[in-house]
Amino acid sequence: MSDLLVVGSVALDSVKTPFGAVQEILGGSATYFSYAASFFSPVQLVAVVGEDFPQAHLDLLKRRDVDLTGLQVAKGRTFRWAGEYGYDLNEAKTLDTQLNVFADFRPDLPESYRQPSFLFLANIDPDLQWEILHQVERPRLVAMDTMNFWINGKRQALERILSEADALIINDGEARQLTQEPNLVKAAEAVLAFGPQLVVIKRGEYGAVLFAHGNFFFAPAFPLAAVLDPTGAGDSFAGGFMGALARDGGMDEAGLRRAVVYGSVMASFAVEDFSLRRFTRLRPEEIEERFRAFQEMVTFQ
């Protein structure tokens, strides 16, 4: 297996959906990513939390053998996010964001983290993504995420890091915003022109599309009877995608397609409960069962 490093946020989330509400539960991009990826590959996590961060959450990640050497505990309060979803679960309405210790997050990577085979730069300041990338020896694959806040506010810095990334994993709205292209095929082509070799566009309940090597591949979302909370689904997708690549090692077209399906599988589990609750009950054989179900669902003669 290959080392997989993620840099992102670990947070306390308050979420309300039509199916329930929770207060200050475990969240954050690096959290969802690392937990999902840990079913496939060892994961090293870089993030920051405050002195108020519950030990039980750290223990939860440690039980998945997520390496927390790079998790800083800073003086102050942990990053908090509050959001609400209507029956259209594809988009959250942000009610409150408190960056707290995350506002001054400037990681200095441990020496043991500086030679990852796979690096995922989660949704953080593109200047910070750039700093992280230049603290490591060049990985086999550098993938990244971003969001509308950085697209609007730090366009130049974002284009700089995109020029050195191998892959961008982004949702459809952000892909259109980044490229000013309403058509997703043209948007993907425009992203590739920035420098990445491949782009995955996440489309929520409509699945995900991979553009790479001049081809594209579509994976639908898994049909679920109950979706309770879509928070973290995109980061769980990225964790499954990168974890599968790190486990299997192959980055040819077949390997990338398998990774997209594993990403979709992990996202489908993430949305079945709030926070990481579904993941904590997840068995590896369930992942493979759902992977095979995906294969059967899209196979036709």
- In whole angstroms, what is the distance from residue 22 CA to residue 259 CA? 31
Given a contact cutoff of 8 angstroms between Cβ atoms, the answer to whether 25 and 12 are in contact is yes
Q: Report residue 205 CA to chain centroid gap.
A: 16
Domain range spanning residue 37?
A: 4-298
The pLDDT of residue 81: 96
The pLDDT of residue 2: 55
The pLDDT of residue 1: 45
The pLDDT of residue 11: 97
- Please report, for the domain that includes residue 48, its CATH number: 3.40.1190.20
Q: What is the domain count for the chain?
A: 1
- In whole angstroms, what is the distance from residue 184 CA to residue 190 CA? 10
- In whole angstroms, what is the distance from residue 266 CA to residue 199 CA? 19
The pLDDT of residue 202: 94
User: What is the mean pLDDT, run by run of 10 residues, along the chain of 301 residues?
Assistant: 87 96 97 98 97 97 96 97 90 92 94 96 96 96 94 95 97 95 95 96 92 91 92 96 94 94 97 97 98 90 73
The pLDDT of residue 92: 86
The pLDDT of residue 173: 92
pTM of the model: 0.96
